[in-house]
Structure 1
Amino acid sequence: MIKLLITGVWICGVALASVYFSVQAANKPEQVEPDPAMFGGLETIRGEVTSIPVISDGAVQGYFLTRLSYTIEPEKAKLLTIPLPDLVTDALYTALVGEQVIDFSGTKKFDLDTFKSKVKDTLNDRLGEVVFHDVIVEQIDFLSKADIRSNMRRGNFTLNKGAPVGETDAQPAEETAPTH
């Protein structure tokens, strides 16, 4: 009878120990590695072409043209109350016109990494938290006033006459004879 009692206690002890250790193993937090920034979790939003005047000595010296894309968290993008293109355009004007990050006088070399980080930091500072994770450059151009005039002289640029403001395609503009 004692052997049966010891065997029963032994089986109960082993069963309780195995349940205890399996519950402990199941409750351990998993070591989850975060997704790398370029492989999931972030959404890339393509920006619009933005033309920013370069002002020096009180006059427009040319235009800085850029198209940037941004990696942003999709959940935070949905919460924005300001349209994303407006926010980005404001940040570009703030960084390039207000703070003059780029020196077009030719005395400094253009630092692309500084430009990208400045745009990203300006956007995140404006929002008060890290929403934008990276800035991807699709296009950067600078057209001086001389370049624009040269293109117009060569005929690479044409001005098309548009319809008067307020008229639609269904209602063509009527020409009136001048009265004397």
Structure 2
Amino acid sequence: MIKTVVIGLWVCIIALGSLMLAIKMGAEPKSAAATEESSSSIDFDRTDVMSVPILADGKVDGYIIAQLVYTVDSNVKNKLHVPLGLIVNDAVFNVFYGSYTDTKRIEHVKFEDVKQKIIDGVNQRFPEPVIKDLMVEQFNFIPADQVRDMNKVK
């Protein structure tokens, strides 16, 4: 009988000790990096594949085909009442439409400049910055002649 009571007490002490250790380890303060990561979560999204006409001398000279990926602060994004994708598409269109009337200049596009214009164009519409970074998934220029040739019936 005494052995049974001692074994029961031993099991209770071990269980209580392990419970106390688990509580103590779970209550340790998190590092600063982990706290910052949990308070500001970054999410990403991509634009639709867009075709922006390039006009020269009153006619379409070609199309820029672009698809971009952008990173956003998800806490700020959740506060928005307007779909962010629409605003980003509009900013991309505004940067390219009418900016490159000489199609030879498109070959020398500095994406860092374009990227900053798009980010600024989107972020100025909101009280706090939403877009953190912008990356290229697809960026092509197709001359209008090639598009017309693709549409010809053979």
Amino acid across the alignment from 1:142: F
Describe the SS at the equivalent of 1:150: helix
Hey, what does 1:67 align to over in structure 2?
A: 67
Hey, what does 2:142 align to over in structure 1?
A: 143
Describe the SS at the equivalent of 1:80: coil
The answer (yes or no) to whether the contact 2:69–2:136 under 8 Å persists in 1 is: yes
Shift of the 65–41 alpha-carbon distance from structure 1 to 2, 3 Å rule, reads same
**Alpha-carbon shift at residue 45 of structure 1 (Å):** 0.9
Q: Is the aligned partner of 1:84 residue 2:88?
A: no
Where does 1:82-121 land on structure 2 (aligned, <5 Å)? 82-97=82-97, 100=99, 102=100, 104-107=102-105, 109-121=108-120
Determine the C-alpha separation between the residues in 2 that align with 1:107 and 1:70: 25
Name stretches of at least 5 consecutive residues in structure 1 with no aligned partner. 1-29, 156-180
Hey, what does 2:123 align to over in structure 1?
A: 124
**Alpha-carbon shift at residue 150 of structure 1 (Å):** 2.6
**Alpha-carbon shift at residue 52 of structure 1 (Å):** 1.0
Amino acid across the alignment from 1:53: P
Q: Using structure 1 for the length normalisation, give the TM-score.
A: 0.58
Amino acid across the alignment from 1:83: P
**CA RMSD in angstroms, aligned pairs only:** 2.4
The higher-RCO structure (CA 8 Å, 6+ apart) is 2
**Alpha-carbon shift at residue 76 of structure 1 (Å):** 0.9
Determine the C-alpha separation between the residues in 1 that align with 2:142 and 2:134: 22
**Alpha-carbon shift at residue 62 of structure 1 (Å):** 1.4
Determine the C-alpha separation between the residues in 2 that align with 1:154 and 1:64: 24
The answer (yes or no) to whether the contact 2:55–2:101 under 8 Å persists in 1 is: no
**Alpha-carbon shift at residue 42 of structure 1 (Å):** 0.7
User: % of aligned pairs identical?
Assistant: 27
* Number of equivalences: 120
Determine the C-alpha separation between the residues in 1 that align with 2:105 and 2:114: 17
Superposed CA offset, 1:20-58 (max 9, x none):
xxxxxxxxxx983555xxxx8210112211111111212
The answer (yes or no) to whether the contact 1:103–1:110 under 8 Å persists in 2 is: no
Determine the C-alpha separation between the residues in 2 that align with 1:64 and 1:52: 5
Task: Provide runs of 4+ in structure 1 moved above 6 Å.
Answer: none
The answer (yes or no) to whether the contact 1:91–1:122 under 8 Å persists in 2 is: yes
Determine the C-alpha separation between the residues in 2 that align with 1:129 and 1:147: 43
Q: Using structure 2 for the length normalisation, give the TM-score.
A: 0.67
